[in-house]
Amino acid sequence: MHIDRAGDACSTLEALDGAMNDVLLHLYRHKTWATLRLIDYCQGVGDEHLDATIPGTYGTIRETLRHLVEAEEWYLSILTPGSPDPLPDGPVSLDELAERIRSLGPRWEILAQDPDLPGREVATDDGWRMPGAIVMAQAIQHAESHRTHVMSILGARGLHVPEPSDLDVWGYSDTTGLTQEPEQSSSA
């Protein structure tokens, strides 16, 4: 009997690559979902709150959300050709920011399924070179960080902020139907 260890190793690596692509896909879907949910919440608060900030955050809620969207577009432009038009100078509506996040979501999902992208060298417009995986991970971390800034400002102003768990991966899973309640066992 001959055991093909190399074949087993290849199968295992292929399975791991597929599983990692699935994980990355869910992380990008969560990022899009949570950002849209937060923007939607912010559409229901007044300008006095959108123009507020607290120490330790990026800036006002409006500035932070704009920065989050601009960064998403920039990260994507590093990984793939075809950058969207830049946001106009001055205030931008939350509707416009939400629409941009909605249009970016499917592009992130396509990138998450590209098995070569994490190892491919990419370059920023100012010449920094790195593996695509760094930019891919940064996009997820950056969005999480700035969503937290916005929630901190809202909470400091005494507004009912969506519970952190409502914007976390558990909340995403519950809302999108990926999580299922356990079946109740019947005892006779």
Considering the chain, what is the average pLDDT of its residues?
89
Q: How confident is the model at residue 160 (pLDDT cuts 50, 70, 90)?
A: confident
Nearest to 42 by CA among 87, 98, 88, 86: 98
Q: How confident is the model at residue 20 (pLDDT cuts 50, 70, 90)?
A: low
Scan for tokens 């400091």, then name that residue.
Answer: 156
Residues contacting 124, CB < 8 A, separation 6+: 78
pLDDT tens for residues 66-114?
999 999 999 999 999 877 889 999 999 999 999 999 999 999 999 999 9
Q: How many CA atoms lie within 13 A of 137 on its CB side?
A: 8
- 187 vs 141 pLDDT, higher one: 141
Residues contacting 172, CB < 8 A, separation 6+: 26, 29, 30, 33, 34, 178
* C-beta atoms surrounding 51 within 10 Å: 13
- 8 vs 98 pLDDT, higher one: 98
What is the helix, strand, coil percentage profile of the chain, to 5? 65, 5, 35
Please report, for residues 124, 136, 154, 158, 165, the alpha-carbon distance to residue 108 in angstroms, rounded to integers and kept in the order given. 17, 9, 28, 34, 23
Q: How confident is the model at residue 135 (pLDDT cuts 50, 70, 90)?
A: very high
Backbone φ and ψ for 163, nearest 5 degrees, come out as: -50, 140
Q: How confident is the model at residue 12 (pLDDT cuts 50, 70, 90)?
A: very low
Please report, for residues 37, 89, 140, 141, the alpha-carbon distance to residue 175 in angstroms, rounded to integers and kept in the order given. 11, 35, 19, 21
Q: How many CA atoms lie within 13 A of 70 on its CB side?
A: 11
What per-residue confidence (pLDDT) applies to 17?
Answer: 52
For domain 30-168, the CATH superfamily is: dinb family like domain (1.20.120.450)
